[in-house]
Amino acid sequence: MKFIVRNSKNRAPRLGLLKNIEGKTDVEIETPVVLLHTQGGHIPHVTHEVFKLVSKEPQILQIPLVSMHNFQETMQYYNGTISEFIGSKDSLTCLTLQDPSNLTKQGHHVKEKIPIWTKKGKVLYDSEMYMNIVESFKPDMYYLLSDGDTNKSSAPKRISKRKSDVLKKTFVMAPIAGGYCLKSRERCIEAVLANESDVGGFLIDGLHNNGPEVEFLPFVEVKDVVEHVIKKLPPEKLCSVQGCWNPVSVLKLVQLGVDMFDTSYCRILTERSAAMTFPIDSIEETDNFEINLRQPKYVDDFTPIMYSCQCLACSKYSRGYIHHLLTVQELLAPVLIMIHNIHHYLRFFKKIRECIRNNSLSDFENKISEQYKNHQEKVLSAKNQDEPRRFF
């Protein structure tokens, strides 16, 4: 697999192309791109067969090792690839260590080993064990092992403990760790660039501890770190971040030069019964950034989640019906919400690429930012009204 920057005149925002994919030479994927977040090899609430109704375009599946650890022994005896094993042989795969939609526990480290928390408890991975897994999974892309368990409060000494190996057969993403210490980041970059020819791209790791809280992480806290790291990296290489970033943060990260994200944000919205409704095209008019279909006001609402949306959920089902499914705890409810959220998020990234081509990304960002700000103010106002009055 090879990454090519298409608008070389601009360092950021930029368009790119993933091509020359082994075994799929006819497939080309434009960037900025979003990986389809999976758990146990499947998109949460959505099977591979159902997803074909959402999109027929080639996609990259994000495979967190933490959710696939229990299959490691099986994969050692399985001759196929991880995409074949999970029943999605036509999809590309990207192996990561942690699940960006779940909080990563801090600490619990052993020298030169990284912990992951599986259903069977803590499992320690060293570089040899991890690379054996990569070789048995045979993904199209993978992130090197790194100590990305850091956030703004992490100490530089704690951050500097990292180790990565290189596997040349697939597209390798090297993690840039160091938390919020710029000197630690620079030391990491210097070490990684010593083997630059073996690396296809970089993961800016250690900005957070994953989980739903990333949605509300103030972008101002990560801006300087991301900007500093990207300026130090070779511009011809792919740049990635993980996490449940909200759409406004995604746009700001794209403006800095980030090329690859994931759909863990879709998952956390679906878990709280929320559907994305922010406008993407100019013809779409909506006052809501997102709607929570559990709210009683949708009980008699027979309109779709979004009139302009062509996804399966909006084409065949109403807000009121999905509200009913949520009320009676039918499993179809999160399936329909997830279908809409992924469809909307894929449209969002398609719009991002279009705006970069038209030099209108800043206008699009301002529009989304304003609506997100209004949404946050509505949420805060509703929360204050729901709080019980105190009498002294």
Annotated binding site for Zn(2+): 309, 311, 314, 340
| DSSP helix/strand/coil, 95 | strand
Those residues with Cβ within 8 angstroms of residue 389's Cβ, 6 or more apart along the chain or in another chain: none
Q: Which residues are annotated as a binding site?
A: 309, 311, 314, 340
The CA distance from 275 to 372, in Å, is: 14
The CA distance from 107 to 93, in Å, is: 29
Using the Cα atoms of residue 224, residue 250, residue 245 and residue 108 in order, give the sign of their dihedral: negative
Q: Is the bond into 32 cis (omega within 30 degrees of 0)?
A: yes
- Could you give the C-alpha distances from 362 to 12, 251, 255, 357, in angstroms and in order? 12, 9, 8, 12
Those residues with Cβ within 8 angstroms of residue 150's Cβ, 6 or more apart along the chain or in another chain: 158, 159, 177, 178, 179, 180, 205, 206, 207, 209
| DSSP helix/strand/coil, 116 | strand
The CA distance from 226 to 240, in Å, is: 10
Residue with tokens 């070789």: 135
